[in-house]
Chain A
Amino acid sequence: MSPSRNSRKLSTGKTSASSPRLLPERELRRIIDTVLRLAKSTGADETEVHVDETADSLTRFANNAIHQNVAERGLNVSIRTVVDSRTARATTNRIDEDSLRASIEASLSLAHSQPKDPHLLPLPGRQRYRNVNRFVKDTAILMPEDRARAVRRACDLAIQNGQVAAGIFANSLHQSALGNSRGLFAAYRETHAEFSVTMQENPAASWAKANAASVSAFDPQKLAQRASEKAHMAIDARELPPGRYTVILEPAAVLDLVGFLFYDFAATALQDKRSCLNDRMGKQIFGKNISITDDAYHPLQLGAPFDGEGMPRQRVLLVDRGVPKNLVYARSSAKAAGKKPTGHGFALPNEYGEAPMNLVFADGDSSLEKMFASTDYGLLVTRLWYIREVDPYEKVMTGMTRDGLFLVEKGKVSSAVRNFRFNQSILEMLRNVELLGPAVRATGEESFEMVVPAMKVRDFHFSEVTKF
């Protein structure tokens, strides 16, 4: 992408007050070793240490100018001790020995205060991990000046088109390391770049967003151009009556809805009877064109190859041609169910167990144009907003369309439409998918990033209309 090429010239090899840095991995290991050494003399039976370091930068713009521009650096050490079948966690961002010792003591004090847990497992020993490389130098060295220039170009485009731009351009570095007193050690680092833009052409607006490990994976100006064109298309919106419509959901809209399914695949959620999959495992509850995998190693995914206890993440087929087949397990839920852990556990202690965090939907070969061409009367949805769960078992979600809702008639986008409120079951929606596009790394605002396709869905339920 052109902005980052310019930025590399500016940034390479330079050290300034604004350049983010992470500690070398050996420093994280040293902190972990220090905690484990200190813990030996405190009476802890076992000890686990997480070290997380972030260096985040984010430029925010609105009204065609930067109005907020921030940088953050932080490091947390989180210590879990186990004593006499009890466990608890204490976290600090102070890494001198006295502070680390105080956190160990705090963790032990918390642990001692509770009844014994007969189901508490011993810490896991050493594990083997697949290597993933998600730390991209181009992203790491992106400077405030680079972000400002890219933002300036997007704002200039807005001004040129009689519009108003708002959005963010962010880059971040993150690393985490986990070690325990049984010799387990795991470490991971990644970069993250994100550009999001809203173009407003009163009273309409549209939006585009991308993120990836590499800032070169997307072009901010192309995103701004797309949002600008759609904002112009979105003016003069007409009001349509609520009801059931065929919809073409762009990937961001798909993501923000199906993202609410992720915790339903946790074994603990089923054990607690709060999953919509209770009594539905092994049944044909989605269409045969729906298959879902949790795959931390997919090339479009980010995230560590290990979970909160240091267990290696496994690739898990969750839904096979419309039938939920498998769940994800932490060590404790796996033991309770007589299964093997899949490496999806949260850091202990917690009451939620685990969750798949790297969902990948099987895709299709229908481009948006192909979906339009097959649609006599329907709606194109850019993005959804403020989605909340109305019925946890039928998985009915409510929310609004936002930033570009368009009528598709006889194969073509014919006009803009006022935004609707929907009340729609995700289970029903995934039974009504008629066409799927290629799966992409989608990003929205309601869910974490996943790999999902655009979808054409029949009978999507809109219940009310708003004023714009």
Chain B
Amino acid sequence: MWDFCTNALNTARLRGATYADVRLMHLRQRDLTTKNGQVGTLAQSESIGIGIRALANGAWGFASTDRLTREGLSACGAQAVSIAKASALAKRGDVEMVEEFTYIDSWQCPFRKDPFEIPLETQLALLLAADAEMRRVKGVTLTETGMQFRKIDSWFASSIGSRIHQRKMITGCGIAATSFKGDEIQKRSYPNSFGGQHSLEGYELVESLELLKHAGRVGEEATALHSAAQCPEKSGTLILGGSQLGLQIHESVGHPIELDRVLGQEANFAGTSFLTLDQLNKLRYGSDIVNVVADARLEHGPGLGTFAYDDEGVPAQCTDIIKDGQFRGYLSNRETAHLIGLKRSSGTMRTESWNRLPIIRMTNISLNPGTWGYDDLIADTDDGILMETNRSWSIDDRRYQFQFSTEIGWEIKGGKKTRMLKNPSYSGITTEFWNSCDAICSRDYWTLWGTPNCGKGQPMQTMGTGHGAAPARFRNVRIGSAFSNR
């Protein structure tokens, strides 16, 4: 593989590139789903190719190909430089990059059981059994289950001499029951919506989820929601379950701290950010107990944002984003780091595949655990609503105003979880919301959730990100707004 990389780099340099890097990637994926007791998708795929990024005449060009021949690589390297020279026709200055060391390394994420080695019959049997458990509940009208496995090998080489091989194993799994009755469609998912939990692990993730133990409850809650009370519209106390809080972090912290957005590079598509450069080290983002990090290191956990090196050859790091409520850091790359006074990239350049340009991406953006026990948090809440499992999410293009709805809610009265609520939702302004946080549960309740479907960039890239979170409480939140004025 290194010969392919060297060939491509040499071509780029010969054609005039002052810097170049390449990512040769081999991606293997298996998807299994069931629906209503029948196998749905049963597919696997592999893709191998190379992407070449070249800096020439002070501007960037990128080309990719699946033709891994001497001719194919030479043509691709030449194309990358040719495109860079075309970019220079509309540049306003030369690209500058902060320095980085050279690395020769090989890394593999730890996993215990290779899911591609587990018999398909075993995997399907588990999904079909969970599917059957959910269908046992009267009133369930649609059952869905799924597993997804990805094995990604990447070989990174750069013209400064780095040679880095990484192997990642990603596993995802989840189940869902839907019930249509009268004029309502209600749904419950486990362990999370939109495909379940996803992490940098092997088949041990699937086994740890104990799907069969939860399938019956998922079906029962989906049908029970029809007769639950409507979530009220009011301003009040909100407790978010861990997975919903993970998505809240993703949308209202993770995206606004992407420095490419801040600098206007995503203005036409993903949007910009309210976190303008003058806010760094000045903005009170949240209350004193809010501490958020961007941590790609393995010691943070097996998240979808965990790696040893980013796709620009920069080692994984932990960066303070919010420290004791103060805004402290952005996600940067080698091109943007100097604009915020850094001498080094924070290591967040990531690519979906060999045919995509690496761009600034979330790694694991996590809310550090607090001190509360979960039962203590409920007992300490006199009047509030607990919301769990995301149903919809939306936020404006500068990341101020958001609205989320969840699959299920629970009324908290007098320190006890009481009746079920349907159609829960809440909304707010990002900094007001995080400043209203007054309790976060401890590490015992902290999970590193995986968001597998974060879209960004043009052409669109889908990336997995990690979000560690424990249940937390927020005061004076607008609740029920999605169903107001109906």
Q: Does A245 sit within 8 A of B, measured CB to CB?
A: no
Of A249-257, A316-324, A387-395, the one touching chain B: A387-395
Closest to A68 in B: B357
Best-buried of B64, B397, B423 by chain A (most CB within 10 Å): B397
B43 near A147 with CB under 8 A, answer no
| Residues of A close to B47: CB separation below 8 A | 74, 76, 91-93
Contact present for B45 and A145 (CB under 8 Å): no
Tell me which residues across on chain A come within 8 A of B76, comparing CB atoms.
73
Most buried by A among B42, B49, B184: B42
B62 interface contact, C-beta 8 A: yes
Residue of A nearest to B42 (CB): A88
The answer for the CA separation of A385 and B356 in the assembled complex, in Å, is 24
Specify which chain A residues have a CB less than 8 angstroms from the CB of B128 in the assembled complex: 115
Known contacts A388-B393, A388-B394, A466-B396, A168 near B119 by CB under 8 Å: no
Question: Given that A111-B42, A244-B485, A351-B33 are contacting pairs, would A386 and B268 also be in contact in the complex, using a CB cutoff of 8 Å?
Answer: no
Complex interface residues of chain B between 65 and 95 (CB less than 8 A to chain A): 65-67, 75-76, 78-84, 86-87, 89-93
The answer to whether the Cβ of B317 comes within 8 Å of any Cβ in the partner chain is no
Chain A, range 398-457, C-beta contacts under 8 Å to B: 398-400, 402, 419, 421, 423, 445
The distance from the CB of A352 to the nearest CB of chain B, in whole angstroms, is 8
Verify if A289 is at the interface (C-beta below 8 Å from B).
no
Bound complex: CA A155 to CA B394 (Å) = 31
Mark each residue of chain B from 272 to 290: 1 if its CB lies under 8 Å from any CB of chain A, else 0. 0010000000000000000
Question: Measured between C-beta atoms, what is the minimum distance from A358 to chain B in Å?
Answer: 21
Stretch with Cβ within 8 A of A (4 or more), from B307-315, B322-330, B399-407, B468-476: B399-407
B401 touches A423 (CB 8 A): no
Partner of A272, one of B36, B39, B423: B36
Shortest distance from the beta carbon of B239 to any chain A beta carbon, whole Å: 21
Whether A398 and B45, one on each chain, are in contact in the complex, defined by CB atoms closer than 8 angstroms, is no
State the Cβ distance, A46 to closest chain B Cβ, in Å.
16
Q: Which of A26-34, A59-67, A299-307, A362-370 contacts B (4 or more CB under 8 A)?
A: A59-67
**B144 in contact (CB, < 8 A):** yes
Contact partner of B120 (CB less than 8 A), chosen from A109, A244, A389, A399, is A109
Stretch in A35-43, A122-130, A194-202, A336-344 touching the partner: A194-202
A421 x B394 contact (CB < 8 A): yes
The answer to whether B263 has its CB under 8 Å from any CB of chain A is yes
Q: How far is the CA of A389 from the CA of B121 in the complex (A)?
A: 35
Contacts of B42 in A (CB 8 A): 87-89, 110-111, 113-114, 349
A391 CB contacts on chain B under 8 angstroms: 185, 423, 483
A152 to B265, CA, bound (A): 16
Let me know if B429 is at the binding interface, CB within 8 A: yes
Contact partners of B359 in chain A: CB under 8 A? 68
Residues in A neighbouring B39, C-beta threshold 8 A = 114-115, 117, 349
The DSSP consensus for interface residues of chain A is: strand
B394 proximity list for chain A (CB < 8 A): 386-388, 398-400, 421
Chain B hits for A151, CB < 8 A: 90
What residue of chain B has the Cβ atom nearest to residue A209's Cβ? B268
In the complex, are the beta carbons of A71 and B79 less than 8 A apart? yes
Inter-subunit contact B121/A113 (CB<8 Å): yes
Chain A residues, Cβ within 8 Å of B458? 58, 60, 68, 168, 170
A18 to B82, Cβ gap below 8 A?
A: yes
Min Cβ gap A11→B in Å is 12
Instruction: List, in ascending order, chain A residues with CB within 8 A of B185's CB.
Output: 273-274, 391-393
- Residue in chain B with minimal CB distance to A57: B83
Q: In the complex, what distance in Å separates the CA atom of A70 from the CA atom of B66?
A: 15
Pick the residue among A149, A402, A445 that contacts B89 (CB under 8 A).
Answer: A149
Chain B contacts for A69, CB-based, 8 A: 59-62, 83-84, 86-87
Nearest B-chain residue to A168, judged by Cβ? B458
Question: Which of under 10, 10 to 19, 20 to 34, or 35 or more describes the interface residues of A?
Answer: 35 or more
Contact A91 B43 (CB under 8 A): yes
Which of B34, B274, B403 meets A421, CB within 8 Å? B403
- B425: interface (CB < 8 Å): yes
- Asked whether B481 lies within 8 Å of A423 as measured between CB atoms, the reply is yes
The interface centre, meaning the residue of A64, A67, A200 with most chain B CB atoms within 10 A of its CB, is: A67
Tell me whether B482 is interfacial, beta carbon within 8 Å: yes
Q: Does B40 contact A (CB under 8 A)?
A: yes
Bound: A108/B33 CA distance, A = 17
> With a CB–CB cut-off of 8 A, which chain B residues contact A244?
485
Known: A62-B265, A274-B185. A71 touches B40 (CB 8 A): no
Tell me the smallest distance from the CB of A271 to a CB of chain B, in Å. 9
A145 vs chain B, min Cβ distance (A): 5
Does A152 lie within 8 Å of B266, measured CB to CB? no
With a CB–CB cut-off of 8 A, which chain B residues contact A143? 86
Q: Is A461 an interface residue (CB 8 A)?
A: yes
Asked if A68 contacts B62 (CB within 8 A), the reply is: yes
CA A61 to CA B90, docked complex, whole Å: 9
| B48/A94 in contact, CB under 8 A | yes
Give per-residue flags for A94-109: 1 if the beta carbon is below 8 A from chain B beta carbons, else 0.
1000000000001001
Give the chain B neighbours of A74 by CB distance below 8 A.
47, 49, 64-66, 355
Q: Does A148 lie within 8 Å of B86, measured CB to CB?
A: yes
B264 to chain A, nearest CB (A): 5
Bound complex: CA A17 to CA B46 (Å): 27
A72, A76, A205 — most chain B CB neighbours (10 Å): A72
Chain A residues whose C-beta falls within 8 Å of the C-beta of B48 in the assembled complex: 93-94
Q: Contact at A73–B65, with CB atoms within 8 Å?
A: yes
Residues of B within 8 A of A73 (CB): 63-67, 76
For the complex, is B124 an interface residue (Cβ under 8 Å from A)? yes
B141 x A273 contact (CB < 8 A) = yes
Flag if A90 contacts B43 (CB, 8 Å).
yes
Q: Which of B76, B144, B458 is the most central at the interface, judged by chain A CB atoms within 10 Å of its CB?
A: B458
Write out the residue numbers on chain A whose beta carbons fall within 8 Å of the beta carbon of B372.
none
Any A CB within 8 A of the CB of B126: no
The answer to whether B43 touches A148, judged by C-beta atoms less than 8 angstroms apart, is no
- Which B residues touch A113, using CB under 8 A? 42, 119-121, 124
Docked complex Cα distance between A394 and B485 (Å) = 14
Q: Beyond A71-B64, A349-B41, is A200–B89 a contact (Cβ under 8 Å)?
A: no
Q: B41 to chain A: which residues have CB within 8 Å?
A: 349-351
- Contact check, B265 vs A402: say whether CB atoms are below 8 A apart: no
Q: Which of A148-184 contact B (CB under 8 A)?
A: 148-149, 151-152, 155, 164, 166-168, 170
Asked whether B377 is an interface residue with its Cβ less than 8 Å from the other chain, the reply is: no
Chain A residues whose CB sits within 8 angstroms of the CB of B65 once the complex forms: 73-74
Q: What is the CB-to-nearest-CB distance from B173 to chain A, in angstroms, rounded to a whole number?
A: 16
Q: B425 to A386, Cβ gap below 8 A?
A: no
Decide if A467 is an interface residue (CB 8 Å cutoff): yes
B395 closest partner in A (C-beta): A386
Complexed CA–CA distance, A197 and B61 (Å): 20
CB pair A468–B64 under 8 Å, yes or no, is: no
Q: CB distance A464 to B78 under 8 Å? A: no
Contact A385 B482 (CB under 8 A): no
Instruction: Give the distance to chain A from B476, nearest Cβ to Cβ, in Å.
Output: 15
Instruction: Give bound CA distance, A191 to B75, whole Å.
Output: 22
Q: Can you identify 18 A-B contacts, CB atoms within 8 angstroms?
A: A56-B459, A62-B265, A70-B356, A94-B46, A147-B86, A148-B90, A152-B90, A196-B269, A273-B142, A351-B40, A351-B144, A391-B483, A393-B185, A396-B482, A402-B396, A463-B403, A463-B484, A468-B396
6 new A-B contacts at CB < 8 Å, known A155-B90, A398-B392: A69-B61, A110-B42, A117-B39, A350-B41, A385-B397, A464-B401
The 9 closest A-B pairs by CB, nearest first: A351-B40, A113-B120, A144-B86, A466-B401, A91-B45, A17-B78, A273-B180, A166-B267, A148-B89
Interface residues of B (CB under 8 A from A): 33-36, 38-49, 59-67, 75-76, 78-84, 86-87, 89-93, 119-121, 124, 128, 141-142, 144, 178, 180, 183-185, 263-269, 271, 274, 355-357, 359, 391-398, 400-401, 403, 405, 423, 425, 427, 429, 458-459, 478, 481-486
A interface residues (Cβ-Cβ under 8 A, vs B): 16-18, 56, 58-76, 78, 87-94, 106, 109-111, 113-115, 117, 143-145, 147-149, 151-152, 155, 164, 166-168, 170, 196-198, 200, 205, 207, 244, 272-274, 278, 349-351, 385-394, 396, 398-400, 402, 419, 421, 423, 445, 461, 463-468
